[in-house]
């Protein structure tokens, strides 16, 4: 029973990590898109959001 519980916890952790990486990729792509389209103000704002997200995720 303990092993099953451990395996389920690991699956949940893997799913959370996958979702975190997906969010990070989306934010990175937004920054890249804004830079490519010349929207530097938006790129800078979203870059700060990305950096804040990554920093907070690393603290948890």
**pLDDT tens track for 22-52:** 999 999 999 999 999 999 999 999 999 999 9
Tokens standing for residue 45: 């704002």
Burial class of residue 31 in the structure, from the number of CB atoms within 10 Å of its CB (0-12 exposed, 13-18 middle, 19+ buried):
buried
Range in 1-5, 14-18, 49-53 with the lowest mean pLDDT: 1-5
Give the other-Cβ count within 10 Å of 46's Cβ: 20
| Residue 23 contacts residue 53 (beta carbons within 8 Å) | yes
Q: Is the pLDDT of residue 6 over 60?
A: no
What pTM was estimated for this model as a whole?
A: 0.70
- Comparison of pLDDT for 14 and 47, the residue scoring more: 47
Q: Where are the domains of the chain?
A: 17-59
Q: Going by C-beta distance under 8 Å and a sequence separation of 6 or more, which residues neighbour residue 48?
A: none
- Comparison of pLDDT for 9 and 37, the residue scoring more: 37
């Amino acid at each position: 029973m303990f092993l099953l519980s451990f395996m389920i916890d690991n699956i949940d952790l893997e799913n959370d990590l996958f979702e975190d990486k997906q969010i990070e990729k989306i934010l990175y792509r937004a920054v890249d898109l804004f830079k490519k389209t010349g929207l530097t103000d938006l790129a800078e704002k979203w870059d700060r959001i990305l950096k804040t997200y990554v920093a907070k995720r690393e603290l948890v």
